[in-house]
């Protein structure tokens, strides 16, 4: 993707995100209002149905009051009461039912096959013990109960709201109910209307967003060509700097291999050839020659280990960053003779992978600059964890330098490498230098650590 298109995309993304956020807010608010409207409608309909059911039951009780209130408890009177209740109907699916306290059905005009059956363990589709729930509502609750029951007119299971009351003298429970499929239909219609309104709003928002996107895209294509060229030139400079850094690293490695390892290996070869000739001649100093060759071989192995450590310290993978920095500091102390104070509090922190490598390279680059240019006598390295932040400070008491002048005259590759490594992880880097010394401060965020502290100042 060309730079101008990237810039256009940079202008479009915030706009699209803003439109998407507005649409999400509208969608959420509309859905919330729709659900509130549906709940209010459901509450209103259920309230009217409860009133209607209570009136039906009171009507049924009034109809049987002459028989029930006569005080007669014979079977003939009970049979007349059941027959009277069975004859009372309202609507296509309205009827009365009667159960005794043990869950046995005494009267059911629409499902006569249930009469006389023990329905104590009868459950609906949700696992509710229907008869037990009805008896419990009549005995302890307000008399209302929702459950699933077969609708007589359709033969299908439907949700039903019942109201029951007790005929205590006979131990009966009298009740009736209304099916709630009309409530479900009304709620479905409300939700459908809300969804249609949401779709209309979203389509209108999409139209506005499309017009805005076209305007931004047209404006983005007219960006100044000089800015485009400037961005390309900076990209080329960055590429050249990367190539230069790679070539410098390759040259350094080539010099170390040629001047160090290669010379040692040639010397070891000559030493072993000399020992072979001395052994063939039976000279007594052949053993001493072999020992010298072995010592030079050990030096070559150590040099290879040092080069390997410079390329990628193995301690980073095995013991972690604190141990790897400790070894680096010890080698620097022995090589330079400087007094190095190394402090760290990361021993209990998990390994950080690429971030640990970046911190190691930053310290390595800083120590290299100190050894070459600072003329310092003492170095302080402080590596601390503050919550999710890793704070690194490298200070020396050398002669200091002008950071701006160094970057202008010499390219400041080392300093740029440090800044680019920090920027790669979204951290912060500050370099302060003067006649009294140089201080490098680096702050990196570790997302895998617990956030128990705020960002360091």
User: Strands, E, within 80-143: which ranges?
Assistant: 89-90, 94-100, 105-107
CATH class of 318-457: alpha beta
pTM for the structure as a whole:
0.42
Per the CB < 8 A criterion, the answer to whether 412 and 375 are in contact is: no
What is the per-residue burial (b if ≥16 Cβ within 10 Å, else e) of 248-258?
eeeeeeeebee
Distance CA 268, CA 287 (A): 14
Dig out the tokens for 206 from the structure. 């999409």
Contacts of 319 (CB under 8 A, 6+ apart): none
Tell me the pLDDT of the chain (457 aa) as tens digits: 665 566 667 777 777 788 788 888 888 888 888 788 888 888 888 888 899 899 999 999 999 999 988 888 899 999 999 999 999 888 777 899 999 999 999 999 988 999 999 999 999 988 999 999 999 999 887 899 999 998 887 778 888 999 999 998 999 999 999 888 878 788 788 778 878 887 888 788 788 878 877 776 676 666 555 666 777 788 787 777 767 766 666 766 666 666 667 777 777 777 777 778 777 777 777 777 777 778 777 777 777 766 666 666 666 777 788 888 888 898 889 888 999 999 998 866 555 578 888 888 899 889 988 988 888 999 999 999 888 888 999 999 998 888 777 655 445 567 777 888 888 888 899 999 888 899 999 999 877 655 554 555 5
Q: What angle do CA 224, 229, 231 make, to 5 degrees?
A: 100
CA 243, 244, 245, 248 dihedral sign is positive
Arch. (CATH architecture) of 1-223: 2-Layer Sandwich (3.30)
Residue-wise DSSP of 177-214: EEE-HHHHHHHHHHHHHHHHHHHHHHHHHHHHHHHHHH
Q: Where are the alpha helices (DSSP H) in 148-281?
A: 181-221, 225-256, 263-281
Phi then psi dihedrals of residue 172, to 5 deg: -105, 160
């Amino acid at each position: 993707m060309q730079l101008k298109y990237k810039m256009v995309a940079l202008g479009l993304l915030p706009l699209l995100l803003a439109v998407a956020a507005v649409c999400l807010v509208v969608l959420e608010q509309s859905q919330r209002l729709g659900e509130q409207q549906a709940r209010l409608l459901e509450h209103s309909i259920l309230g009217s149905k409860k009133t209607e059911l209570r009136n039906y039951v009171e009507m049924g009780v009034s109809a049987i009051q002459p028989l029930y209130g006569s005080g007669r408890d014979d079977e003939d009177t009970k049979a007349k009461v059941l027959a009277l209740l069975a004859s009372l109907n309202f609507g296509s699916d309205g009827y009365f039912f009667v159960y005794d306290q043990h869950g046995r059905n005494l009267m059911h005009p629409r499902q006569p096959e249930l009469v006389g059956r023990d329905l104590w363990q009868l459950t609906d589709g949700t696992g509710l013990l229907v008869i037990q729930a009805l008896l419990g509502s009549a005995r302890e609750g307000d008399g209302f109960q929702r459950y699933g029951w077969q609708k007589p007119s359709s033969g299908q299971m439907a949700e039903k709201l019942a109201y029951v009351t007790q005929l205590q003298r006979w131990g009966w429970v009298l009740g009736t109910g209304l099916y709630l499929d009309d409530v479900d239909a009304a709620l479905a219609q409300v939700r459908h209307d809300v969804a249609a309104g949401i779709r209309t709003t979203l389509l209108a928002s999409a139209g506005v967003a499309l017009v805005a996107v076209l305007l931004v895209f047209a404006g983005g294509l007219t960006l100044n060509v000089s800015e485009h060229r400037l961005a390309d030139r900076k990209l080329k400079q960055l590429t050249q700097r990367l190539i230069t850094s790679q070539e410098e690293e390759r040259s350094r490695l080539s010099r170390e291999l040629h001047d160090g390892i290669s010379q040692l290996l040639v010397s070891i070869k000559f030493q072993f050839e000399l020992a072979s000739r001395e052994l063939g001649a039976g000279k007594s100093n052949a053993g001493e020659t072999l020992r010298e060759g072995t010592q030079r071989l050990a030096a070559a192995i150590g040099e290879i280990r040092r080069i390997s450590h410079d390329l990628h310290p193995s301690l980073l993978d095995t013991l972690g960053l604190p141990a790897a920095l400790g070894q680096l500091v010890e080698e620097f102390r022995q090589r330079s003779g400087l007094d190095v104070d190394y402090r760290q509090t990361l021993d209990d922190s998990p390994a950080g992978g690429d971030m640990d490598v970046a911190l190691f390279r930053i310290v390595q680059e800083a120590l290299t600059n100190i050894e070459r240019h600072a003329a310092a006598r003492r170095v302080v390295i402080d590596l601390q964890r503050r919550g999710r932040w890793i704070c690194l400070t490298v200070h020396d008491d050398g002669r200091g330098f002008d950071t701006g002048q160094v970057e202008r005259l010499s390219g400041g590759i080392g300093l740029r490498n440090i800044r680019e490594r920090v920027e790669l992880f979204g951290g912060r880097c500050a370099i302060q230098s003067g006649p009294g010394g140089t201080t490098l401060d680096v702050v990196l965020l570790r997302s895998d650590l617990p956030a128990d502290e705020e960002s360091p100042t």
